[in-house]
Amino acid sequence: MCGLNVFVSSRPAAGAPDQATAAAFSAALETMHHRGPDDTRVEFADGAAFGFKRLAIIDREEAAQPVHYRDRWTVVFNGEIYNYRELRAELIHEHGATFATEGDSEVLAAAFHFWGPGALPRLRGMFAFAAYDQWTGTLHAARDPFGIKPLYLLETVDGLFLASERKALLPFAAGSGPSIDTDALAHYFTFQYVPDPLTLHRNIRRLPPGHRLTWTAGGGVRTERYFRPKLRPLHSSPEDAQAAIRDALRDSVHKHLHADVPVGAFLSSGVDSSAVVALAREVKPDLHVFTAGFAADGYSEIEIAQDTAAQLGVRITPTVVTEDDVIRELPRIVQLLDDPVADPSLVPLYFLAQTASRYVTVTLSGEGSDELFGGYTIYREPASLSSIERLPNGMKRGLRGLAHAIPEGVRGRSFLERGTTPIEERYYGNARIFSPEEKAQLLRFTADPHTAVTSHLYAETADVDDVISMQYVDLHTWLPGDILCKADRMSMAHSLELRVPFLDQAVYAAAAGLPTDMKLPPHSTTTKHALREAMRGIVPESVRERRKLGFPTPTRLWLKGGIGDWIGGLISGSAPRHLIDVDYALRLLTEHRAGQADNSRKVWTVAMFSLWWAIFVDRTIRPAPLTMTLTPPVPSYANDRITTVLTGQ
Q: List, by residue number, the catalytic residues.
A: 2
Distance of CA 490 to the CA centre of its chain: 10
Q: Which DSSP string corresponds to 8-65?
A: EESSTT--SPPHHHHHHHHHHHHTTGGG-BSEEEEEEETTEEEEEEE---SSTTS--S
Distance of CA 371 to the CA centre of its chain: 12
Q: 10 Å Cβ neighbour count for 563?
A: 21
For residues 513 and 374, what is the distance between their CA atoms, to the nearest angstrom? 12
- Identify the helix (H) or strand (E) that includes residue 216: strand 211-216
Contact partners, residue 590, CB within 8 Å, separation at least 6: none
Edge-first strand order for the sheet with 362-364 is: 497-499, 362-364, 263-266, 288-294, 315-321, 644-648, 628-631
The CA-atom distances, in angstroms, between 302 and each of 230, 270, 289, 305, 538 are 36, 12, 12, 5, 21
Q: Where are the beta strands (DSSP E) in 260-394?
A: 263-266, 288-294, 315-321, 362-364
Q: Where are the beta strands (DSSP E) in 472-626?
A: 497-499
**375: which DSSP letter?**
-
- Residue 393, SS3 per DSSP: helix
For residues 194 and 413, what is the distance between their CA atoms, to the nearest angstrom? 30
Residue 140: φ, ψ to 5°: -110, 145
For residues 643 and 14, what is the distance between their CA atoms, to the nearest angstrom? 56
Contact between residue 117 and residue 67 where contact means Cβ atoms under 8 Å apart:
no
Q: Where are the beta strands (DSSP E) in 65-137?
A: 67-69, 73-81, 125-133
Q: Which DSSP string corresponds to 420-484?
A: TS-HHHH-S-S---S-HHHHHHHBSS----THHHHHHHHHTTTTS-HHHHHHHHHHHTHIIIIIH
Antiparallel, parallel or unpaired: β 315-321 and 288-294: parallel
Reference 493, options 619, 610, 628; nearest CA is 628
